[in-house]
Amino acid sequence: MRLNYVRKIMSDSFISVPLIGALAVLLTASIAVYASLRNTDHLLVIHFVGGGGIDFLGDLGDMVSIIASAIVASLVNSALIFFFYPRIQILSRLIAFFTLFFAVLILIAVGVIISVN
């Protein structure tokens, strides 16, 4: 019975396409971090302010933490989708698209950190 419930939710293209897209975007961010920063042994500029300069330095572990946090947030959003789908389908669809939007923002942030360093 539970498998039919999952199939029903994943057959809704307004939920499955954004979730698969978010997974692909986070996978792309992970590969970009690994390919670009695997041989770095110096501090990375994680955040800077235009007029004030660098205010947060980190290392590769901080980059992995950013991506891991995004993956956890996506999993929590997926759980919310499965919880709300039988009651409020439009909310489930909004959460799915927000998950994709959040993953794209993480990809942009990772790309900026890679380009600065």
* pLDDT of the residue at 1: 53
pLDDT band at 91 (very low <50, low <70, confident <90, very high): very high
HSE (side-chain half, CA atoms, 13 Å) at 53: 0
The band of 22, judged by pLDDT with boundaries at 50, 70 and 90, is very high
| Rounded average pLDDT over 16-25 | 95
Q: Domain ranges for the chain, please list them.
A: 2-116
Question: What pLDDT digit, counting tens, does each position of 32-42 carry?
Answer: 999 988 888 88
Per-residue confidence band for 93, with pLDDT thresholds at 50, 70 and 90: very high
Distance separating alpha carbons of residues 55 and 63, to the nearest angstrom: 16
Average pLDDT, the chain: 88
State residue 114's pLDDT score: 87
Q: Is the dihedral of CA 26, 29, 30, 31 positive or negative?
A: positive
